[in-house]
Amino acid sequence: MPLDELKQRFRIFRDKTASGVPVGMLYDDVYHTVVIAPATSNTVAKCAFGFSDTLPTNMFAQAGKLGIPGIVFACDTEPVVVTKSPHDWVTLRPRRIELDNVDRLRAIDFCHVVCSPAELEAALDARLKELALAWTSP
């Protein structure tokens, strides 16, 4: 149906929100890779189940639809994590659902999940090499 006919039958809204601009640049070949680092368990869950209601999740979803690789540094990837809280060191035990969501994310086309800063750096190095690019800062 032509746009003029749609306008006669429906109200049409143009997305001019902050996330609309960077997402639109995916269609103009401005970005070659989407990196979400770090990705909270909430962001991982949204990406794993196809929700795209924030800038990171929207970029991830649209990039995947275009075949643009995504690299996600997921926070909850190990059964036990010792981390620094504001007052002390704490032991965290991600729930089964968080670990399952990371596995779901790994199964998504064009998605590479990394679990540490070293893995993130290696994934970025590999992606730059694929594109015949190099880091621009030391």
Q: What is the pLDDT of residue 52?
A: 93
Strands 111-114 vs 81-84: parallel, antiparallel or unpaired: unpaired
Q: What is the pLDDT of residue 136?
A: 77
Domain boundaries, the chain: 17-128
Nearest to 105 by CA among 63, 49, 67, 64: 49
User: Is the pLDDT score of 40 beyond 80?
Assistant: yes
48 has a pLDDT exceeding 70: yes
Q: What percent of the chain has pLDDT over 70?
A: 88
The closest of 91, 22, 101 to 60, measured between CA atoms, is 22
Q: What is the CATH number of domain 17-128?
A: 3.40.50.1950
Q: Is the pLDDT of residue 21 over 80?
A: no
The predicted-structure confidence for 104-138, as pLDDT tens digits, reads as follows 999 999 999 999 999 999 999 999 999 999 887 55
Query: Among 21-25, 75-79, 97-101, which is the least confidently predicted range?
Result: 21-25
Rounded mean pLDDT of the chain? 90
Read off the pTM.
0.82
Looking at the chain, list the stretches that DSSP marks H as alpha helix, in order from N- to C-terminal side. Answer: 3-9, 20-26, 41-48, 55-66, 96-106, 117-130
